[in-house]
């Protein structure tokens, strides 16, 4: 039985997508924001089935909430 019910190829795809979102948008936003922080992203099972744009939107919503002080 594959780990977490998904094959390594699928897990690596999600990992690469989240890394790219962090590198391009999340980390620069945290660096420029008034509340710098480290970023840890844990993907839920639903992350395997959504498109890149959905992952990007969800991560950026959380980052923007953190930078604005809502979290």
| Inter-CA distances, 29 with 4, 23, 69, Å | 31, 10, 13
Flag whether pLDDT at 9 surpasses 90: yes
Number of compact structural domains in the chain:
1
Which residues does 18 contact at the CB level (< 8 Å), separation at least 6? Answer: 41, 43, 47, 55, 59
Q: For residue 36, what are the domain limits?
A: 3-68
Q: Measured on CA atoms in the order 24, 9, 40, 59, is the torsion positive or negative?
A: positive
- Eight-state DSSP code of residue 23: I
User: What is the model's pLDDT at position 67?
Assistant: 85
Q: What angle do CA 16, 1, 44 make, to 5 degrees?
A: 40
User: What is the model's pLDDT at position 35?
Assistant: 77
pTM, two decimal places:
0.84
| pLDDT tens per residue, range 14-49 | 999 999 999 999 999 888 877 778 889 999 989 999
Per-residue pLDDT averaged across 59-71, rounded?
Answer: 87
């Amino acid at each position: 039985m594959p780990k977490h019910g998904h094959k390594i190829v699928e897990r690596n795809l999600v990992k690469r997508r989240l890394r790219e979102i962090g590198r391009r948008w999340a980390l620069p936003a945290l660096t420029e924001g008034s509340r710098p922080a480290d970023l840890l992203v844990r993907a839920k099972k639903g992350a395997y089935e959504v498109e890149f744009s959905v992952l990007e939107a969800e991560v950026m919503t959380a980052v923007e909430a953190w930078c604005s002080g809502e979290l």
